[in-house]
Amino acid sequence: MARRFARRDPSRQPKALIVVVTEGTSTEPGYLKMFKQLHGSESAALKVIPLGADPRAVVERAIDETPLDPEPSGNDSVWAVFDRDDHERFNEAVDLARGNNIKTAVSNPCFELWGILHYELLDAPTHRHDCQRRLRELCGGCRQSSGKRFEDAGVVNGQHGEAVRRARELLSWNIRQRERSDRRRMFHDRRRGWAGGGPAAQRSEAQVRPWGAQTEESGG
């Protein structure tokens, strides 16, 4: 178990200490360190811990890195960075982080998608291997021989804002796709209920009402 750190004299320490525990050992740490060099501030210190483990283990290590005496200002933070991928303990990791005040940065399906968004919008479901291959095509510094590092300082420096915009657009697209899927599923549930009649139809109507209420809340 890692030792929890205690902050030093505030007059000798930066205003904020950001600790990031990453699932990956190459791509994520390399990007974070490059981003700190390009966009960082003297008022913050970054500590990156490449763990090379599954999401739950990443969150557990992040908990170990939580400061014993956090800053009263709340500027310090501990993050767990991991992929959705096909991890069996993904939901456990998310719940554990939420219960221990650990911030999470989750990539779905993998971190390479964030790299791709610096170059283009990828608005279709894709496997992590496809993302990794596409990023290698787009980024000259992201080669298997270099440990899959996302090394394109010009793009990271100049296209960060565009990557954020594309990420938000992708999120909106995913929400719309999920709503369409829910709508189709509820429609088929209703048809099955009407075809069977009786209690089945009543159950189907009960399923439709919560969905309608939910969409109204999300749309308001």
Task: Say which residue, 8 or 57, is predicted with more confidence.
Answer: 57
Provide the pLDDT for residue 75: 80
Q: In angstroms, what CA-CA distances link 134 with 112, 114, 189, 216?
A: 9, 12, 38, 38
- Please report, for the chain, the start and end positions of each structural domain, with discontinuous segments joined by +: 16-158, 187-219
Query: How would residue 163 be classed by pLDDT, with cut points 50, 70 and 90?
Result: very high
pLDDT in tens, 168-205: 998 888 788 778 777 777 766 666 665 444 444 343 33
Q: Would you state the CATH architecture of domain 16-158?
A: 3-Layer(aba) Sandwich (3.40)
Alpha carbons 146 and 9: distance in angstroms, whole number: 39
Task: Please give the pLDDT value at position 132.
Answer: 87
Q: Show the DSSP H helices in 76-198 as ranges.
A: 90-99, 112-116, 128-138, 153-158, 160-196
- Has residue 119 got a pLDDT over 90? yes
Note the pLDDT of residue 205: 36
Nearest to 29 by CA among 206, 147, 140, 133: 147
Percent of the residues in the chain that have a pLDDT greater than 70, as a whole number: 71
Which of 190 and 92 is assigned the larger pLDDT? 92
Confidence band of 94 (pLDDT split at 50, 70, 90): very high
Query: Mind listing the pLDDT tens digit for each residue in 33-76?
Result: 888 888 877 788 899 999 999 999 999 999 999 876 655 556 88
